[in-house]
Each structure stands twice: as C-alpha cells, then as structure tokens.
Amino acid sequence: MTAEMNYPALAVFLFFFGLVTVMGFLAARWRRPKTLAHLDEWGLGGRQFGTWITWFLVGGDIYTAYTMIAVPALVYAVGAYGFFALPYTIMIYPFVFVVMPLLWKNAKDNDYVTAADVVHGRYGSRPLELAVALTGVIATMPYIALQLIGMETVIHALGLKGEIPLVLAFLILAFYTYSSGLRAPALIAFVKDIMIYIVVIAATVLIPAKLGGYGAIFHAADAAFKAKGSGGILLQPAQFPAYLSLAFGSALALFMYPHAITAVFASSGGDTIRRNAILLPAYSVLLGLLALMGYMGHAAGLKLANNNDVVPALFQSLFPGWFAGFAFAAIAIGALVPAAVMSIGAANLFTRNFWKAYVDPEVSHAGQTKVAKITSLLVKAGALLVILFLPTQFALDLQLLGGLWILQTFPAVIFGLYTGWFRAGGLLAGWATGFFGGTWLIWLNNYKPLHTLAFGDAKITLYSGLIALAANIAVAIVVSAALRLRPEPIPAPLKDSRFK
Amino acid sequence: MRLIWLLLLVPFAALAWVPFYNRISPEAFGFPFFYWYQLALVPITSVLTWIVYRRTRHDR
C-alpha cells in the first residue's frame, strides 16, 4: 500500500499518542493509594475498579489492536468463516457472568493475585501451580508481540519507515507501566475505547454510504470470493463444526489469559463483574461491524499486498488525512492497553508463582512489587525482540499455540471452584496431555488451528484446542479417580460462604 | 439452582444449529441473515443476562 508521508494524519496521531503518554505517567497519582509498593496496588490497581472503569479496562484489554487488524483481515481473506469472532464473543459473557465472580471472591478472600495462586490455594500442589503459571506466561508473550504487529501496521501506514518509531512507542509504554502499574492502562483505556467507538461507528456509517450501502458491499464480497474460487459470504457445510468449535474453544480460553484474569481481579467485586457481563457485549457489536470492514475492502476494490492492511487502506483511501490519523492513533493506543495489562499479568505470575514460590518465599510486598516491575520490562523487551528479529509468522504461530495452551489450564483453574473431587495429580496429567497433545495436533496440521477427526467414513473438522481440552478433561477424570482410591489429604475448603 | 439460570444457555442453543442461520434471506438493511442474526444475538444475550441478574441478585 502507499506509504507516503501523511502529515495531517501524523500530527493527529502524535497528539493522541502524546496525550496518553502523559496520562500513563500521571496514572500513578490516580486514586492514589498509601503505597504503590504492593502487588495489590501496582499489579491489580487496588482491587477497587467499579463497573465503568472495569468496562473500559476489560473492553480495552480483550478487544486488542491486533483484533482490530486481524479479524477484518481474516474476513477479507476467507469470508464467513472469519466471522467466528462474533459467536465467540457472544458465548464468552454468560460464562463470565456465572464463573468469574466466584473466581474473584476466591482470590479476594485469600489475597491471591494470579490464577496460579488460586490453583495452589485449592490443591496445595507446587507442580500444578507452576504448570498454570508457566502456561500463562508463554501464552502471553506472543500475544504481546502481536500487539506490536498491530502498531507496526498503522505506523507504516502513516508513512514512517523503519523500526525506530515502534521501539520508541514501546519504550514509552514500558516506562509508564513500570511506574504506574495497572492504573496506567486503566486510565488510557478510557481514551482508547472512546476513540475506537468513534472510528468504528464513523466507518460503519460513512464507508457504506460511499460504497453504495451494505447490500452492495455483500454483493461485491460475494463476487470477489466467486472470482477467487475460495471463501464465501456463507459457510460451507464442512465448516460448520470448525466455526462453532473455534468460537466455543476461544470463548473458554479468553478468560484464562493472565491479562483477562488480571482485569477481573482488579474489579471491586462480584456484582461489578456481573454487570460487566451484561455491558461488555457492546464491544462485540463493535467487533462484528469491524469484521465487515473486510468486505468493504472488496467493495472498495482494494489491492493489498498483505491482508492485514485492509483496515488502514480503507481509512487512507476513503477518509481525509486527519481522520485516518485519528483512526491509526486509536489502533496504536489500542495496542498499548492490552500490551500493558498482558505484561503486568505475566509479571504477576512470575513474581507470585516462581519468585515467591522458589527463589525467595519470605519476599516482602515491596519486594514482590519490585520483582514484578522489572519482569514487566523484560517481558516487553522479549516481545519486541521477537518482532524485530524473528519472522512475523513465528509470532503468529506462537499466538495460535498460545490460545490452545491457555485453554488447557481451564480444568485446573475452574473445576476447583465447584468441586473438590479432582486431584492435583489428575489435573496435572490432564494439563500435560492437552498441552503436548494439542501442540502435536497443531504441528500435524501445519500450524492451522483445525484438525479433522475420522470416525470410519464420517469426518469432522474441529478446533484442535477443544479436542485437546476434551482429552485433558478425560485424563484428569481417570487419573483423579485412580488417585482417589488411596487416601490422600482432601483439598482445602474454599473460603466462601456458598460452600459452607 | 433456579431455572432462571437456564436463560444463559439460550445463546448457545441459538448458535448451535448452524444450518438454521447459514443463509442469505431474509435480508435486513442489506445484511444477509447469517450476519444480522448473529449481530442481533449480541443484545439479546445481554438482555437475557440482565434478566438473570435481576432475578438472582438477592439469592446470594
């Protein structure tokens, strides 16, 4: 795509980027605690965010810049199948409504900061805790890298060349996250989300007006897929199970990610989370409309070297420079919020479930915060190095694997909220089966997320992560049943009145 | 466990049978059925969740 300097766009972009930078550093004073040198403050913002702050933070955190670029790109490339992001985000919230308040309460009552803390508290097993923590960290790293890809796409669309702008943007992010902790992304999320809403609403109203309406857009996309001979604006029957299983598996996985759990734990209580399960779908409408920008790309007749350019190219070709700059700033800031929360989530895991568990069990609250702050810098530096020195495809493949990996922590984190039947050994065996078996499935299918199971003549193609989760749960049940045959200390009871 | 919680399963049931909504007509505002049906499920799910919230908040 064209990469001439677009000065009005650049000026608007720099203004908003500067604004959030100032906000990021000032965030340390927002709702100022007695001390920031406590992981509850730096890493969870004081566990006090109410309904609206949580709405902006979780929305800003899980609808990432990469989502804004990649979902329309997939829809542009393959059509209806890429729309699985919508049923995915429909299925998430009933689950969040039921489960996450219990997880929050368990964490709050016991001063837990991470999912792995919850698992350790429930089963008293260091190996299981480590498996959950390690999975969280390695699933998050490539996700941070993808945020950089989102940012890089819009920086290049502005006409800025080379990697230096990206490095600078990331350094700024790293420093204000270091000093303000979770308060920084929580405050920036307000700006990010409002900008994204303006951009998407403008795009979904104005672009169809220029392209002859939604009917014309769907027709153009249909014609483009027919000319290409692949994809389509409806699913093929063979894609049905794949479509649903990708949506369902992704929905179960999302709130196992450290950045999602961090944002949930930072909320002020169960009712805050329940209200958010009702209000957060507003972002899903946004995502669904955004996905259709893939079809607008066909209607506008864009010729793209890279599918990921579809959103920036639409803004550049159909909007004045200053608005394109505003849209690009929204996407770039949209990368900062999740990248910050992800690095904080990973840092919390490292501090609580590795440093405190193995290196220095007596570490003070101030000491934990110091470890977490430094870890958050290292995590971001690692993601930056991946993007600068390894092929982009490597980060994409790892991100795909990351989704499958994090899904395998579901039984260990969630089942214990409802039952004491499972044993740590069973859950660990299940996790290992799902983790390594699922990785093998992805590898077998040449880094595609789908695997075809054959039952005699009947073939069904499903999301590998869900197949791995089924194996995970089956093994967890069988091994737990076996372990239950011999006497073993029962898991600690949950400190929750519901269970008394 | 009250029956009202079952409302939360409605979105899953509404999405489970893909052949039902994998069609072009009826169209609405130029959107094929496949698209507007799933988009409409977003606010519907929200409202169902809100109903469950209203009916169960005193149970806790």
Q: What ipTM was estimated for this complex? A: 0.93
* A270 belongs to a structural domain: yes
* A274 belongs to a structural domain: yes
**pLDDT at residue A229 tops 90:** no
* A120 belongs to a structural domain: yes
* A464 belongs to a structural domain: no
* A185 belongs to a structural domain: yes
pLDDT digits (tens, 9 = 90+) for B11-57: 999 999 999 999 998 989 999 999 999 999 999 999 999 999 998 87
Sign of the C-alpha dihedral computed for residues A221, B35, A211 and A200 taken in this order: negative
Question: Does residue A419 come out as left (phi exceeding 0), alpha (psi in the -120 to 50 range) or beta?
Answer: beta
Say what the pTM is. 0.91
Answer with the residue of higher pLDDT: A256 or A165. Answer: A256
Report the alpha-carbon distance of residue A343 to residue A144 in Å, rounded: 8
Domain interval for residue A66: 7-391
Report the alpha-carbon distance of residue A18 to residue A129 in Å, rounded: 40
- B residues 40..59 contacting A (CB < 8 A): 41-43, 45-46, 48-50, 52-53, 57
Report the alpha-carbon distance of residue A298 to residue A310 in Å, rounded: 9
What is the DSSP track for A442-487? HHHTTS-SEEEEEETTEEEEEEHHHHHHHHHHHHHHHHHHHHHTS-
Task: Work out how many domains chain A is built from and give that number.
Answer: 1
Contact assessment for residue A307 and residue A77, using Cβ atoms and an 8 Å cutoff: yes
Rounded to 5 degrees, what are φ and ψ at A451?
Answer: -135, 140
Length of chain A: 500
Contact assessment for residue A212 and residue A299, using Cβ atoms and an 8 Å cutoff: yes
| Cα pseudo-dihedral A440, A433, A249, A264, rounded to 10 | -120
* A447 belongs to a structural domain: no
Inter-helix orientation angle A321-350/A258-265, to 10°: 80
* A256 belongs to a structural domain: yes
Rounded to 5 degrees, what are φ and ψ at A57?
Answer: -70, -50
* A279 belongs to a structural domain: yes
Contacts of B49 in chain A (CB under 8 A): 93-94, 97, 277-278
Q: Find the mean pLDDT for residues A454-483.
A: 93
Q: Quote the pLDDT of residue A499.
A: 43
Q: Quote the pLDDT of residue A490.
A: 63
Hey, are the CB atoms on A94 and B11 less than 8 Å from each other?
yes
Contacts of A235 in chain B (CB under 8 A): 18, 22, 34
Report the alpha-carbon distance of residue A58 to residue A403 in Å, rounded: 18
What is the residue extent of each domain of chain B?
A: 3-59
Confidence class for position A498, pLDDT limits 50, 70, 90 = very low
What type of residue sits at position A183?
R
CATH number at residue A213: 1.20.1730.10
